[in-house]
């Protein structure tokens, strides 16, 4: 057996954290030969619930789960962490302005970025899930100056998986037959699910898909899928978000398949003209624990417009939290 790795999860008593912890302990994220130590972080009011999660995890007698640490202390929770899932955040409540949401969450992600910088493994891989995920990720990475910006990512994989599902249903093709899909930009209504380079069952998606359906139905159905689930379930996506987080981390560690790629929000290097330093979702390929933007894809006028719109929104979000960066 390999030595155990440490996985820190904030908001671990919440819906997504609860779903993720069990799948990670079962080996879904890092493989059936990788023991794990879970470092579960919550705020004081949720500590009792978190102790219940700990009891359930232990009651599963997972062979890979070596230890569970439950804490409200960031220096304990992030200590030596090899992987970090930042899930806990402040939800938007009725009447709350987006700028208030951004700044309230900033107050969470700034100290968390600092604590990761100070206490986590020098090779830590961080995934930010708590919304607004891109800008929370931007705050965290800007407060971790001793780590590489490439160690911080935000989650777009749920949007990517949702788009795959929509295409699969529309074309009656299994999801495994669909590749080279990209969801660009922000995890918000401006995200751009792009099928320009996508292949479905070996054929180009643009030759199979009716572009009126694509523009008038598909785009908004992916963008608004989260809201649709809230209406149906009375609660926001949880198991699918946890599953997407596991997909994101697994691909980052073990690599994407062949010529295919995935969508990850990463710190922009200026690729595709996106403002340097912005946390933005690009098409990326992963290999040997690293990721690289898929470069030189042709961007048509429609795509350019959509990409610029989502970049504009992220620039506005960045401006709203500039004192936290």
Alpha helices, DSSP H only, in 66-181?
Answer: 74-77, 98-119, 133-142, 157-171
Of the pair 129, 286, the CB lying nearest ligand NAX is at 129
- Residue 282, Ramachandran bin (φ over 0: left; ψ between -120 and 50: alpha; else beta): beta
Binding mask 255-274 toward ligand NAX (x if CB under 6 A, else -) reads --------------------
Tokens representing 203? Answer: 């054929």
The Cβ of residue 26 has, within 10 Å, a number of other Cβ atoms equal to: 16
**Binding positions for ligand NAX, 133-172, rule CB under 6 A:** 133, 155, 158
Alpha-carbon gap, residue 76 to 129, rounded angstroms:
21
195-234: which residues touch ligand NAX (CB under 6 A)? 226
Which one of 39, 131, 143, 243 is in contact with ligand NAX (CB under 6 A)? 131
Active site (annotated) includes residue 197: no
Minimum CB distance to ligand NAX, residue 135 (Å): 11
What does the block give as tokens for 183?
């969801």
Q: How far from chain centre, in Å, is Cα 69? A: 23
70 binds ligand NAX (CB under 6 A): no
Q: Is 129 in the site for ligand NAX (CB under 6 A)?
A: yes
Looking at the Cβ atoms of 12 and 200, the one nearer to ligand NAX is: 12
- Greatest Cα-to-Cα distance within the chain, rounded to the nearest angstrom: 55
Q: How many residues does the chain have?
A: 325
CB of 243 to ligand NAX, least distance (A): 11
Using the rule CB under 6 A, which residue among 25, 39, 89, 186 binds ligand NAX? 89
Cα angle vertex 194, ends 257, 97, to 5°? 115
Which residues carry out catalysis?
187
**Contact positions vs ligand NAX (CB under 6 A):** 10-11, 13-17, 41-43, 46, 87-89, 91, 108, 129-131, 133, 155, 158, 187, 226, 236-238, 241
């Amino acid at each position: 057996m390999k030595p155990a790795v440490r996985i820190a999860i904030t908001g671990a008593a919440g819906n997504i954290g609860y779903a993720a912890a069990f799948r990670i302990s079962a080996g879904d994220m890092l493989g059936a030969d990788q023991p794990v130590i879970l470092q579960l972080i919550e705020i004081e009011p949720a500590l009792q619930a978190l102790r219940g999660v700990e009891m359930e995890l232990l009651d599963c007698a997972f062979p890979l789960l070596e230890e569970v640490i439950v804490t409200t202390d960031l220096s304990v929770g992030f200590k030596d962490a090899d992987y970090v899932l930042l899930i806990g955040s402040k939800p938007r409540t009725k009447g709350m302005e987006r700028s208030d949401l951004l700044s309230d969450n900033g107050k969470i992600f700034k100290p968390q970025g600092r604590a990761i910088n100070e206490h986590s493994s020098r090779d830590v891989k961080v995934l930010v899930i708590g919304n607004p995920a891109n800008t929370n990720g931007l705050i965290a990475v800007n407060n971790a100056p001793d780590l590489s910006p490439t160690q911080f990512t935000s989650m777009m994989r749920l949007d990517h998986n949702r788009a795959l599902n929509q295409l699969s249903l529309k074309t009656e093709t299994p999801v495994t037959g669909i590749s080279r899909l990209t969801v660009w930009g922000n995890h918000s209504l401006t995200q751009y699910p792009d099928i320009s380079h996508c292949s479905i069952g070996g054929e180009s998606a643009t030759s199979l898909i009716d572009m009126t359906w694509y523009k008038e139905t598909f785009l908004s159905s992916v963008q608004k899928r989260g809201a649709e689930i809230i209406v149906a379930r009375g609660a926001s996506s949880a198991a699918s978000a946890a599953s997407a987080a596991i997909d994101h981390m697994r691909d980052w560690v073990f690599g994407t398949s062949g010529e295919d790629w995935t969508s990850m929000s990463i710190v922009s290097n200026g690729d595709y003209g996106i403002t340097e330093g912005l946390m933005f979702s690009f098409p990326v390929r992963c290999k040997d624990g690293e990721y690289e933007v898929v470069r030189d894809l042709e961007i048509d006028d429609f795509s350019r417009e959509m990409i610029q719109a989502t970049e504009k929104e992220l620039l506005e979000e960045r401006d709203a939290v500039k004192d936290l960066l």
